[in-house]
Amino acid sequence: MVNMDMAHASDRGARALNVTIDDGPDPVWTPRVLKVLRDNGVKAVFCMIGTSAAQHPELVRQVVAEGHRLCDHSVHHDTAMDHKATAYQHAEIVDAQRMIEQASGGVKPMYYRVPGGAFTPYSRQIAASLGMRPLGWNIDTDDYKLPGVQAIINTVERELPNGSTVLFHDGGGDRSQTVAALTDLLPRLKAQGYAFGFPLR
Which residues are catalytic, by number? 22, 169
**Element spanning 102, H or E:** helix 86-104
Longest dimension (CA), the chain: 47
In angstroms, what CA-CA distances link 190 with 18, 26, 142? 13, 27, 22
Q: Is 160 left (phi over 0), alpha (psi -120 to 50) or beta?
A: alpha
Q: Where are the alpha helices (DSSP H) in 113-148?
A: 121-129
Eight-class DSSP state of 179:
H
| CB neighbour class for 193 (10 Å; exposed up to 12, middle 13-18, buried from 19) | exposed
Rg (CA), the chain: 16
